[in-house]
Amino acid sequence: MIAIMCAMLAGTAGAAIGAAPSLPRIAVISIELAQQPAAMREAVARQRDRLRIDLFGLGGGYLPGLDGVDLDGYDLVLVEGVGPRLAQYRRRLAQAARHTRVLVLNGTEWVDGNVPIAAVPDAPRYWANATAENYARLFDYLAARLLGRSVTPQPPVIYPDQAFYHPRHAGVFDTLDGYLAWAAQRHRDAPSRPRVGLVFYRSLALGGNTAVVDALIEEVERQGGLPVPMWRSNSQVSLRHLEDARGRPAIDVLVLCASQIDYADHAAGVAQARRLGVAVLNCTTDYARTPGQWRADPGGFAPDRSGQLAMSEASGIVEPMMVGAREPDAQGMPAHVPLAGQVAWRVSRALAWARLHRLPNADKRLVIAYHSESGDPGDVGSDPDTYLDAQASLSALLARLRAEGYDLGPGELPGAHELARRMAEDASNASGPGAAAELARRARQGGLVLIPESRYLAWYRTLPADLRAQTEARWGPPPGRIMVHTDAQGRRQLAIPVLRFGKVVLAPHPVWGYLQDDGALASKEALPPHHQYIAFYLWMARDLHADAYLPFFTQLSLMPGKQQGPARDDWVGTLIGDLPHIQPTPLQANGGVGNKRRAMAVTTGFMPPLVQGGLPPGLQALRDALDDAADAQAGHAQARRLAQPLARDLGLDPARAQWPELERALRRYLDEVARAVMPAGGHVLGQVPDAETKARMVHAMIAGDTEHPPALDVVRAALGGQPAGPALADGMRARIDDYARRIDQAPREMDAVVDALRGRYIEPGPMADAVRNPDALPPGRNPYTLATRRLPTRDAWETGVRLADDLVATYRREHGQPPRKVAFVLWSGESAQNQGAIEAQILRLLGVRPVWNPRGEVVDVELESRAALGRPRVDVLVTTSGTYRDHFRDKIELIAKAVALAARADEPDNAVRAASTGTIALLRSQGLPEEEARRRALRRVYSTAPGAYSPSTQFAIKAGAEWTDARLAGLYADRMSHAYGGGAEGEADGAGFGAQLDGVDAAVFSRSSNVYGLLDTPMAAAYLGGIGMAVRERTGRAVANYVADLKDPRPGQARIDDLARSYGAELQSRYFNPAWIRAMQASGYNGARYMAQLPEHLLLWDVTTPELVADADWQAVKEIYVDDKYRLGLQDYFAQHNPYARQQLIGALLDAIERGKWEAGDQVRAQLEQLLAQETAAHGAHCAQAACHARQERLALGAAPSLAGAAAPPPMDGTHATGRQPVRGFALEEKRPAPASPDAPRPLTAWLAAGFALLLVAAGAARRPRW
């Protein structure tokens, strides 16, 4: 039967054969061969007298593409069926199959042939054993079987699918035991050497292209390790070959030279790595660049290989590192060559992980870093946007490490409250006017690591000269000014605060420097590390000899250098060196993409509890009034009165609106606030929430994916094992139980940290908040994000289309005409969670749509017609975060292409074309060549300079009133005016950015996480508010601001909200809600930080978007947090847990008054000033910023001896007084002198107290109070 089939195939396409030359013609199409064609070209040369063979790729590489090629004229088209790009040629190959033979090898996912594989059953074996000899034999085989040629083919030479390889050995080893026995003969100390597994593809060996692999093997041996190199024919060859006879790992670490463990079965690959149980490190060769090109390219892996990194992360592969590049050989063929410095670094880091795997826990030295960015003792712990209670988490971690056998010394370990005190008082960074005195105090007490200037210089001089030049250009010669202690003999020393627990050291991460240096603050270029920053990392490696680095906070990923996959000699490589980097990461963020791709981190995910906060007392009273009004007309007036303060949020005047319209709006708003999700305080790593919080979180998760969730009481009953009634029909109980089980696995968060410290593999898991995607739980996995090439997904496109159309309709309704230009803010974490919905919105406004391949990857964009669009095209301005710029470069290019398409559409109402044409004319008038003017006129994507991050306005506003609104607007424009996309690579283009800003009518920001809102951090105000501030400064116009609410991922749930509505609802659901405040109080020191930061973030919104923040908002903050409106015992709470946070909070309120943002009145200002003076007298002055410090000096002259005069007002209408809440930790010894009126003559004792406070301030708080 096969013979008959072959004969039939040999006779097909007779016309093509009859018209062909005397030699049969074969076309070979392969993406893979395009990268490494040497062996195939040799085979083709051997066949030149018998066959005419042409080789093609699909664009890129070393083979020509198919453009203009007539496939019908070939006697056989041989296609390697690998790669989604093939799908673009499906029609052409189907057309060719009607005229000639088409054979597809290695799968038919993308294209089909007309030659069944049964007709040539040995063809895949020739192809898979890819040598020049086997390719030549394959052509003989195909010629005989399909083309009727009289040739007797030789069988393929078969190589093992898996074997152990070494360049010093002729041949390969079939078994691990055989290889290890041979290696033991080479190295007498083989049993004691750490074993480094090295897995690579067999094709490299068969093609004679093992230079990079050989270099890795030899480097492992040179550095004292034992390499265990294994080739595999494909990714389905199991990693079990790296286990010993008892199923234990025979290696200590694995270096995998592939982007996935198992391409065909992702889950199987993860299962293999989990079973093997050692860290899996990346090893990549850049096939597109020479070594010189790779060194010069700031992108690293970006943008071409960003998708590869996403696949690696989804497999749990860590530490992306380029170790090889391509270089033409003597024949001009591409060959892999090692990047010597990178190879050595890959090996030294692998051996560091192997050491972690082998070393007894008692011998391991660890450094755990935490946040102390401002230098204020009230702001120490975790990065605020993580919602992690660092102090309680560190206390729990220290206890766990001791239980695991780590050496934490003989003493009793501190609890969370004691640890918070010590971190703030004795182990925080010191900045500002009081820094010198504070460092001197700590030096006397022995709480500092002091690095003599001479020792630092010896370390520093070993750094690359170009890096030293960068640091000195910004920070001056060593040792700089930050964290420098000068002893009594005048010797300068760099200071590192530490808390030592045996071989485990806790230390504040060095400050970034923007808050400590005016020049850094005003700069727009990338900021290199200062001297103490450098000293910290070099001290860990060269003095402490740390075995692992475990930061709860770091900005290492924000250091200048390659955007993805650092170089050994850039800043990240120089600082982190060989130190394993393990970082707990919130699942709701962007998957830790920056830390993984830029800072070589293994991330372990944790999830703060999320709950619905319910209504604050005032809104509950309003809901009650609405319910009463439904029964009695007289209740309308009460409801209108209570609703009047919500006019901004509702977008209507409650006093004038028709009652049915008002009632609908109020009920919708109240339901939105009541259902809003909030973090339930600070999360403790590895700790399961208490029963009530767990029930509320399960309820929030169900409400997040169910239109009509059961009541909270029903969920409580179900979790308590009580009858829950018929409300739990249709599998609801199973979902409740499932979500509860996921939450109960919180201990995995701590387990993952401990496993990573053992050098073990950390299983990957999706990033998202648990309400948006319950599959983000269980925690304790290495979070990954979606490959950017899939964005926007088809679902996100549908969402973006609706959002864009709603935005245009909303703006038209509010302003009488559609917007001509809309500005957007793109963040990596947002796009990762909403899967490109905002990018889709941008494309839709431009009138452009994505083109997807069959795998769902966006490969192009196409223009929609004006008729199909149904409205004028809307121009866009896109600003991005630095992390988005680094890791989503393909989306930037996609938007740039979309803008160019839209600008070419010749339509009279095309705002994109009109703006571009006007810019071209302007630039031509300034003398630019036409082509350059056209290129610049199409720029729409802007961000910070390469290697720089954030607008920095969030730092500048803390520096004092000298940073006026105009200066802040200028800083924003300077920082964000670097163009990207369409050939632009980050060059400064202030004029172009300004021209784009001038036309902005509206701006859009997205919120896709249930964790983050508009006020958690200052960044929403810095980015979205910054756009409006810059436009207002240039044009005097106000921008219409909107928020794309994407927190609910269900179809049809996304919506466009006015910024004021989102902002007001967030204030009510969180910051003005006693439920949020109580949750923060339960977090002790950490919760006070979040309260203190609220007015700081509010102030940045008020500066950037003055129409947003009302005096009533400021008054509410003061009444709730200073006057204790809800009677939560806040004054005692701050005093017991974090008195410096209260100073920070009051100071921010005074900042708002002094900037003219809050017309508080003289009495309120006097009260706040008196309270701040009294707080300073009671707890010392420790404000790190000069302006803040100066205020405390001034106010100390009028300090009163008591806080008792500031009585709290009664609670608001409708509240139920809760009384004082219990607090954790130790209490201050309170002193309560008799109350004194602010207007009464001051007794001598009061003046003495004030004088004492002034001495404290002037001395920089040389004596720390004990809390």
Q: Tell me, what's the pLDDT at 1217?
A: 32
**Is cis: bond before 479, omega within 30 of 0?**
yes
Q: Which pLDDT band holds residue 359 (cuts at 50, 70, 90)?
A: very high
Q: Tell me, what's the pLDDT at 1245?
A: 37
Q: What percent of the chain has pLDDT over 70?
A: 92
Domain regions of the chain by residue span: 2-146, 162-358, 361-553, 615-658+666-675, 793-1057, 1130-1258
Which of 571, 565, 535 has the alpha carbon at shortest distance from 449? 535
Q: Which pLDDT band holds residue 1200 (cuts at 50, 70, 90)?
A: very low
Q: Tell me, what's the pLDDT at 1227?
A: 39
Q: Tell me, what's the pLDDT at 21?
A: 53
Stretch among 409-413, 697-701, 980-984, 1048-1052 having the lowest mean pLDDT:
1048-1052
Over residues 698-727, the mean pLDDT reads 86
Q: Tell me, what's the pLDDT at 698?
A: 98
Q: Tell me, what's the pLDDT at 610?
A: 98
CATH class in words for 2-146: alpha beta
Is this model's pTM higher than 0.85 or not?
yes
**pLDDT higher than threshold 70 for residue 1243:** no
Q: What is the pLDDT of residues 441-450, one digit of tens each?
A: 999 999 999 9
Q: Is 635 helix (H, G, I), strand (E, B) or coil?
A: helix
**Is cis: bond before 303, omega within 30 of 0?**
yes
Helical packing angle, 1026-1035 and 990-998, nearest 10°: 90
- Does 83 or 164 have the greater pLDDT score? 164
Q: Tell me, what's the pLDDT at 1253?
A: 43
Stretch among 139-143, 1192-1196, 1252-1256 having the lowest mean pLDDT:
1252-1256
**pLDDT higher than threshold 80 for residue 202:** yes
Stretch among 229-238, 274-283, 596-605 having the lowest mean pLDDT:
229-238
Domains 2-146 and 162-358 share a fold: yes
- Does 1109 or 330 have the greater pLDDT score? 1109
Q: What percent of the chain has pLDDT over 90?
A: 81
Output the average pLDDT for the chain: 91
**pLDDT higher than threshold 80 for residue 1225:** no
Q: Tell me, what's the pLDDT at 1231?
A: 32
**pLDDT higher than threshold 80 for residue 1266:** no
**pLDDT higher than threshold 60 for residue 367:** yes
Q: Tell me, what's the pLDDT at 1198?
A: 57
Stretch among 298-302, 315-319, 916-920 having the lowest mean pLDDT:
298-302
Q: Which pLDDT band holds residue 726 (cuts at 50, 70, 90)?
A: low
- Using CB atoms within 10 A of its CB, is residue 543 exposed (0-12), middle (13-18) or buried (19+)? middle
Residue-wise DSSP of 265-332: -HHHHHHHHHHH-S-EEE-EE-SS--HHHHHH-TTBTTTTTHHHHHHHHHTT-B---EEEEEEE-TTS
- Using CB atoms within 10 A of its CB, is residue 889 exposed (0-12), middle (13-18) or buried (19+)? buried
**pLDDT higher than threshold 60 for residue 672:** yes
> Is the CATH number of domain 162-358 3.40.630.30?
no
How many whole angstroms separate alpha carbon 1117 and alpha carbon 1101?
A: 14
DSSP class of residue 1070 equals I
Over residues 1157-1184, the mean pLDDT reads 91
Residue-wise DSSP of 928-972: --HHHHHHHHT--EEESPTT--S-SHHHHGGG-TTS-HHHHHHHH
How many whole angstroms separate alpha carbon 586 and alpha carbon 779?
A: 9
Q: Which pLDDT band holds residue 1064 (cuts at 50, 70, 90)?
A: very high
Over residues 857-874, the mean pLDDT reads 96
For the stretch 961-967, contacts whose Cβ atoms lie closer than 8 Å and that sit 24 or more positions apart, written own/partner, are: 961/1151, 961/1154, 961/1155, 961/1187, 962/1187, 965/1029, 965/1033, 965/1103, 966/1033
Q: Which pLDDT band holds residue 1226 (cuts at 50, 70, 90)?
A: very low
DSSP alpha helix (H) spans, 888-929: 889-904, 911-925
Q: Tell me, what's the pLDDT at 986?
A: 96
Q: What is the pLDDT of residues 458-485, one digit of tens each?
A: 999 999 999 999 999 999 999 999 999 9
Stretch among 1041-1055, 1067-1081, 1182-1196 having the lowest mean pLDDT:
1182-1196
Q: Tell me, what's the pLDDT at 147?
A: 95
Q: Tell me, what's the pLDDT at 1248?
A: 37
Q: Tell me, what's the pLDDT at 975?
A: 98
